Amino acid sequence: MDVFGKKNKVTSADISEDGKTVILLNHDKLWKLSQFESDDFFSGKIEAHHFNHDSQKEGLCFKNKKDILITDESKKNSNIYLFSFN
């Protein structure tokens, strides 16, 4: 899975408290990186989770092992979302 390229500019990233999962964010998807070796984050499993809307997503962080908080902004308002992994 290609996470590089013009359409995949990362706007935010976080690593889980246990150091076993990295999440990357852009305007239309979130990538979950896991099962990597040491700090070679792209050597493991990479999953893309696509959003059903396109917005200017700016930040994310782990709330716990399966829940992620995501922020976005627009000229009219800002939002915070809860995204959960199955």
Query: What confidence tens digit (pLDDT) does each residue in 37-67 have?
Result: 998 998 999 999 988 877 888 899 999 999 9
Which residues lie closer than 8 Å to 22 by C-beta, 6 or more apart? 13, 14, 15, 16, 32, 33, 34, 36, 41
pLDDT of residue 5 exceeding 90, the answer is: no
pLDDT given for residue 6 in this prediction = 60
Average confidence score pLDDT of the chain: 88
Give the domain CATH number at 18: 2.40.10
Q: Is residue 48 part of a domain?
A: yes
How many CB atoms within 10 Å of residue 24? 20
pTM of the full predicted structure? Answer: 0.86
Q: Does a structural domain hold residue 1?
A: no
Q: Look at the chain and report how many structural domains it folds into.
A: 1
Question: Could you give the CA distance from residue 65 to residue 21 in angstroms, rounded to a whole number?
Answer: 9
- E strand or H helix at 73: strand 67-73
pLDDT at 2: 60
Tell me what pLDDT residue 4 has: 63
- Is 79 within a domain? yes
